[in-house]
Amino acid sequence: MSATIIEQATPRLQRSELAVPGTNPKFFEKAAQSEVDVIFLDLEDSIAPDEKEVARKNIVAALNEIDWGTKTMLVRINGLDTHYMYKDVVEVVENCPRLDMLLIPKVGVPADVYALDMLVTQIEQAKKRTKRLGFEVLIETALGMANVEAIAQSSKRLEAMSFGVADFAASTRARTTVIGGAHHEYGVLTDKTADGGPRDFHWNDMWHFAQARMVVACRAYGLRPIDGPFGDFSDPDGYVAAAKRAAILGYEGKWAIHPSQVALANQVFSPSEADVTKAQRILEAMAQAQREGKGAVSLDGRLIDIASIKMAENLIQKAKTIKQS
Ligand code: GLV
Ligand code: MG
């Protein structure tokens, strides 16, 4: 273990993160009643330019008037390259003591986060806000991904990063128009065989590299990695497959752009009974191994060692947090 100690962000359950456009107050109450862990009320890309003002007003009212229970509440502000951003921050942070975090889109360099930290710090001091605001950033541009490690260290307020696959595809000019999921042309054709037999086409995950890069940056600096949207809300199987890929890589949760995706995300990002039982058996087997002075043993015909203890403990800790929520 390195002697460099990394502080972990404020722990929060973030299995599901529901996007709710600020222009749709009729969805607010429903979202508040849902099983989702995190909600972001959107001022950015789901809102047309002429609607920004009204969305802002709706969101300020909703954060003050609706009972959001214990949910983590975010507002997605507009990007730093727009003239909407300063008003988003000032109006929302000044007037919404219930707000937990800001979601900052299209972050490209650490200075973007620094600028917002400065503005938020001034508002907190001026308004004597007692709840310190956290930040989640969207990594969704080529520049943001190129600087992801530096961004991950840019502010003490930073708690999480989301991978914004739609803007990332646009920014990198990926040849697709869908939001997340697989692409039928991104795959590997198996070699020709001597007998000229049939060849298989294996689909690959075109987002793997970006997701893997972001998860490492997050874990290196104590942040929660969250997977972004899956646009086809009529395809729960596709959603679950995408969520599982992210979960297996180490992501803590995934966006829901439709209420039907919330339960799917909660399920995928919660360890199953079988996972917990297996983790407990690993801990028991390792405790026994240590009593016998061994660092590694076999369980069900597989090697387990001291690293297995950490993996098992992570899983059990997650299950405990979910139970307490
Ligand atoms: C989310 O904002 C995305 O661009 O995918
Ligand atoms: Mg985006």
Q: Same domain, yes or no, for 217 and 290? A: no
Q: What's the mean pLDDT in 303-325?
A: 91
Q: Which of 41, 44, 45, 77 to mutate to test the pocket of ligand 1 (most atoms within 8 A of CB)?
A: 45
Closest ligand 1 atom number to CA of residue 105: 2
Q: Is residue 143 part of a domain?
A: yes
Q: Same domain, yes or no, for 226 and 303? A: no
Q: Same domain, yes or no, for 33 and 167? A: yes
Tens-place pLDDT, residues 240-273: 999 999 999 999 999 999 999 999 999 999 999 9
**Domain count of the chain?**
2
Contact status, residue 42 vs residue 20, Cβ threshold 8 Å:
yes
CATH number, position 180: 3.20.20.60
Q: How large a percentage of the chain has pLDDT more than 70?
A: 100
Nearest CA to ligand 1 atom 1: 164
Distance 319 CA to ligand 2 centre (A): 31
Distance CA 160, CA 320 (A): 21
Mean pLDDT of the chain: 96
Tens-place pLDDT, residues 150-190: 999 999 999 999 999 999 999 999 999 999 999 999 999 99
Q: Same domain, yes or no, for 140 and 231? A: yes
Give the HSE-up count for residue 82: Cα atoms under 13 Å, Cβ half-sphere: 18
Distance CA 69, CA 14 (A): 15
Q: Which domain holds residue 281?
A: 274-324
Contact status, residue 167 vs residue 144, Cβ threshold 8 Å:
no
Q: Is residue 130 part of a domain?
A: yes
Tens-place pLDDT, residues 93-127: 999 999 999 999 999 999 999 999 999 999 999 99
Q: Which helix (H) or strand (E) holds 89?
A: helix 85-95
Q: Does ligand 1 come within 6 angstroms of the Cβ of 180?
A: no
Closest ligand 1 atom number to CA of residue 167: 4
Q: Which of 179, 226, 261 to mutate to test the pocket of ligand 1 (most atoms within 8 A of CB)?
A: 179
Does residue 323 surpass a pLDDT of 80?
yes
Place of tokens 């983590």: 72
pLDDT at 324: 86
Single pTM value for the model: 0.94
Q: Same domain, yes or no, for 160 and 37? A: yes
Tell me how far CA of residue 208 lies from CA of 205, 227, 251, in angstroms: 6, 11, 12
Q: Is residue 11 part of a domain?
A: no
Q: Is residue 303 part of a domain?
A: yes
Q: Does ligand 1 come within 6 angstroms of the Cβ of 279?
A: no
The SS3 call for residue 209 is helix
Q: Which helix (H) or strand (E) holds 144?
A: helix 142-146
More confident residue, 295 or 78: 78
Contact status, residue 151 vs residue 113, Cβ threshold 8 Å:
yes
Q: Same domain, yes or no, for 84 and 224? A: yes
Mean pLDDT lowest for which of 50-64, 255-269, 296-310? 296-310
Q: Is residue 68 part of a domain?
A: yes
Q: Is residue 316 part of a domain?
A: yes
Q: Same domain, yes or no, for 180 and 209? A: yes
Q: Same domain, yes or no, for 235 and 292? A: no
Question: Residue 296: which pLDDT band, with cuts at 50, 70 and 90?
Answer: confident
Q: Same domain, yes or no, for 128 and 153? A: yes
pLDDT at 2: 84
Q: Is residue 122 part of a domain?
A: yes
The SS3 call for residue 30 is helix
pLDDT at 115: 98
Tell me how far CA of residue 225 lies from CA of 31, 66, 221, 254, 316, in angstroms: 22, 28, 11, 9, 19
Which tokens belong to 37? Answer: 């862990």
Q: Is residue 195 part of a domain?
A: no
Q: Which helix (H) or strand (E) holds 16?
A: strand 16-21
Q: Same domain, yes or no, for 68 and 211? A: yes
Q: Same domain, yes or no, for 133 and 262? A: yes
Rg for the chain, CA atoms, rounded: 22
Q: Same domain, yes or no, for 95 and 76? A: yes
Q: What's the mean pLDDT in 58-79?
A: 98
